[in-house]
Structure 1
């Protein structure tokens, strides 16, 4: 069923047009209220309600897994994308002399760990150059040869939404036996993702953007074949069979035989968990398919109005549906984002692109407000 504008579920002031979800999403009212309950739980940690944390953690795992078609056993909690990518890099072997394949200008959180791994292995990082008309998929597939040992990619470029066809890439990775690591931070929950079509080794997503979760909350899918790997941290919660700390020192047992062994320390946050449960429950109710369809309508309208003004952007068949980057031949004026914000239209600049990233609290009236502000500042 098609979605309508969901602005009432957020706390946006009248007249504000917020187009910066790709940087930071506002949280849902329901998630904020859950966070308040979590804060009261922190205020009174002796209250029995604290015992709900274990259940909330498993709810989060199951809800996130449901977004990609994975079981809760395959989901770990991580602070950030860089934490998840570092975990992947620590558990994948790069054969001596082979390369890690990435996009040129890829988001840094999915770069630095691979540079380090390549140096240790005596290999290199291979940065794919974007092709004509914002084509990433063709150049990626052309670069996938026997010299590649790991492929680490996003679903789209973070600065402008230019698409990477992960289904095609994963098929070639499987054919060649090359591990695939996906940074899905800028796509998961705003666009459908099917694990059976993109069977990656690791999928990582920070929660504070399209997943509507609080900061320092992220998720990592770990394929079952890596469930015997080594986590970045070693803590008691990641173990099974350990002695009780109520009657002993808690030391012993074995790492859990699932992705839970990779959980970040202090994953059982009394505030973050209930907020994330509410956010993921709402996304599951809306569905990524319906979210993407609604946002695609807004982004297509942005693209049309941008083209009327001579602004360049990825064409429809080569961009993700839920956000877009706009370019112009001359540099953007300094301070333009702040000046537009003063007019009630919030965007950001990333890698020379004016990035427009709407969400379900936006409508076509907001698109008009956005371009009214832009026209006024560029006049």
Structure 2
């Protein structure tokens, strides 16, 4: 696909497909807004449930099928049979851990400040199997953090590595991990690569064939623009013969034969469908997720990635004038910007954001800016103006203090 021109980038914004009122919403890493068509799909699902005779047998399977097909297409997968419908990433991680026997390889690699669900799963696994949990520290450098952190992960992988569990980007500051090189090193040593793509898939183009992970998981309510309480998992062929967490009726063979459900089946449905959570037909949430996935495919994630890069590059260029430390453009996710705010009074900064109707996350010494198709240059300029206002007040106070000291 050819690169979007500057003119095309300026007109690519999809804000009109959302209803954000007059807020500058820069916090998609916390939770995305819902596209209006996704909201409407949920309303229609509620109406069907309100009058149950409108729900047919097909409703138990049709949206699940669409979700599998569309997510497989989104990550360039060859088959929808490797896709499972889950309630959360933690549920998927439990499936992976329960179906990954410990062998003579005795360590599992994570990164520092990993999301709790990921950390707890693998920490418990290591305790259970007397394995070593290796945590790769975050580099102190800001500018080249993604590259340095990726290299540290790569250097740690050796013949003793059983699992490398890492996100596409770090959920706190947006540091971009070089998954291609990490995958190559992991495969070279027979290590299993597990990717938490919750903060990336739908905003960053991911090619499952190139990475060949053991598994990839993503919650739906962030970059996938979907509802809360749903997640999707890609499970590689070796995992697809594993045991599910639960024994529900719909993940068994011939579950579409309602009149024969008590003709109990010994075998699960084909592929990763065996891992589907019970009641995965959720008549409200599944049509919503299916609609959001369709939007992302129609908009083309490669174009979304270029658009988000355009916005964050613009924003970082403006912020550099304030001498604020930033993670370099090549070392962060295209839709993420980690802004070091240790030089600011966080209460004053947060108050200015609220006054300007800017929604962003403050995480320790960093402000996390996370963008998507619902953002535009006006949102970026609003944030720049907020920083200008805070800096101006700080400069004014410093000048006033100097005058007072001289007068005394």
TM-score tier by shorter-chain length is: over 0.9
Work out whether 1:81 is the aligned partner of 2:94.
no
* Distance change >3 Å, CA 190–CA 337, structure 1 → 2: same
Whether the 8 Å CA contact 1:243–1:249 is kept in 2: the answer is no
Whether the 8 Å CA contact 2:70–2:293 is kept in 1: the answer is yes
What runs of 5+ residues in structure 2 fail to find an aligned partner?
394-408
The within-5 A match list for 1:335-350 is 336-337=349-350, 339-350=352-363
CA distance in 1 between partners of 2:271 and 2:261 (Å): 25
* Distance change >3 Å, CA 351–CA 53, structure 1 → 2: farther
By how many angstroms is 1:306 displaced? 2.1
Whether the 8 Å CA contact 2:88–2:230 is kept in 1: the answer is yes
Work out whether 1:320 is the aligned partner of 2:327.
no
TM-score (norm. length: structure 2): 0.88
* Distance change >3 Å, CA 129–CA 358, structure 1 → 2: same
CA distance in 2 between partners of 1:69 and 1:248 (Å): 35
By how many angstroms is 1:314 displaced? 1.1
Match of 1:125 in 2: 133
Match of 2:117 in 1: 109
Q: Deviations over 1:130-189 (max 9, x none)?
A: 334312111011111222211100011111111110000111111111111000011101
Work out whether 1:373 is the aligned partner of 2:391.
no
SS of match in other structure, 1:117: helix
Q: 2:318 aligns with which of 305, 314, 327?
A: 305
Q: Which of 232-241 and 169-178 deviates more?
A: 232-241
Whether the 8 Å CA contact 1:184–1:204 is kept in 2: the answer is yes
* Distance change >3 Å, CA 162–CA 55, structure 1 → 2: same
The within-5 A match list for 1:65-214 is 65-70=72-77, 71-95=79-103, 98-131=106-139, 132=141, 133-134=144-145, 135-214=148-227
SS of match in other structure, 1:224: coil
Q: Deviations over 1:181-210 (max 9, x none)?
A: 000011101011011210001000000001
SS of match in other structure, 1:227: helix
Whether the 8 Å CA contact 2:64–2:286 is kept in 1: the answer is yes
Work out whether 1:57 is the aligned partner of 2:70.
no
**Higher Rg:** 2
By how many angstroms is 1:252 displaced? 3.0
Q: 2:296 aligns with which of 283, 290, 301?
A: 283
Match of 2:399 in 1: none
Match of 1:7 in 2: 15
By how many angstroms is 1:371 displaced? 1.8
* Distance change >3 Å, CA 231–CA 352, structure 1 → 2: farther
CA distance in 1 between partners of 2:99 and 2:105 (Å): 18
CA distance in 1 between partners of 2:348 and 2:280 (Å): 39
SS of match in other structure, 2:218: strand
* Distance change >3 Å, CA 371–CA 108, structure 1 → 2: same
* Distance change >3 Å, CA 368–CA 201, structure 1 → 2: same
Whether the 8 Å CA contact 1:102–1:127 is kept in 2: the answer is yes
Number of residue pairs aligned between Structure 1 and Structure 2 = 378
Q: Deviations over 1:252-288 (max 9, x none)?
A: 3312230000111111010011111110101001111
* Distance change >3 Å, CA 222–CA 351, structure 1 → 2: farther
Match of 2:398 in 1: none
TM-score (norm. length: structure 1): 0.95
CA root-mean-square deviation: 1.9
Q: Which of 150-159 and 42-51 deviates more?
A: 42-51
Match of 2:397 in 1: none
* Distance change >3 Å, CA 332–CA 170, structure 1 → 2: farther
SS of match in other structure, 2:170: coil
Whether the 8 Å CA contact 2:342–2:366 is kept in 1: the answer is no
